[in-house]
Amino acid sequence: MSFLKWLVLVMFQFYYIFHLSIAQPEFEFHVCADSNITEFSPNSAYDTNLNTTLSSVSRNMDSFGFYNTSIALNSDTISVIAQCRGDVQLQVCRDCINNATRKILEVCPYKKSAFGYYESCQLRYSNESIIGTETLYIEG
């Protein structure tokens, strides 16, 4: 095999492996807030608070695969709820939620409310209270 062919093959394999290692799996279903009222500006206080809150979700999951929190910083309320299926091991749950916290910001950029789920876990955040609030998502 010529050196050039070998180099191209190695570069392709490197790209493929690197790309797979950083790509987040696609949600089975997700919903983003659909109104301009529920958008926030990049680098705003809400953006910072949301990123800080979401970055701590996976490591704060309880042993049953559940986590919820609400914080209010600078008059910006952020509520987050995350849970995994009951048969999912804790580390798999944390990995799933870690993927979800990254993917939700990718598929719902600058939205104050979003929901997404994988087969093993689901994540929701909002600028309003989540616990005790009924929300209907219609898949279609």
Mean pLDDT of 118-136: 82
SS3 82: strand
In a domain, 16, yes or no: no
**Confidence (pTM):** 0.75
By residue range, what is the domain housing residue 107? 27-126
Which domain CATH number covers 51? 3.30.430.20
Q: Higher pLDDT residue, 24 or 3? A: 24
In a domain, 118, yes or no: yes
In a domain, 55, yes or no: yes
Strand locations in the chain, DSSP E? 29-32, 66-73, 76-84, 114-117, 121-126
**Euclidean distance between CA atoms 51 and 28, whole angstroms:** 22
Average pLDDT, the chain: 82
* Domain count for the chain: 1
Give the per-residue pLDDT at 40.
92
For residue range 57-100, list pLDDT tens digits in order. Answer: 999 999 999 999 988 877 788 999 999 999 999 999 999 999 99
Q: In this structure, what are the phi and psi dihedrals at residue 42, rounded to the nearest 5 degrees?
A: -60, 145
In a domain, 31, yes or no: yes
Count, residues in the chain? 140
**Euclidean distance between CA atoms 63 and 81, whole angstroms:** 15
Asked whether the predicted pLDDT for residue 21 surpasses 60, the reply is: no
Single out the residue of 93, 137, 119, 125 nearest to residue 25, CA to CA. 119
User: Are 96 and 88 spatial neighbours (Cβ–Cβ below 8 Å)?
Assistant: yes
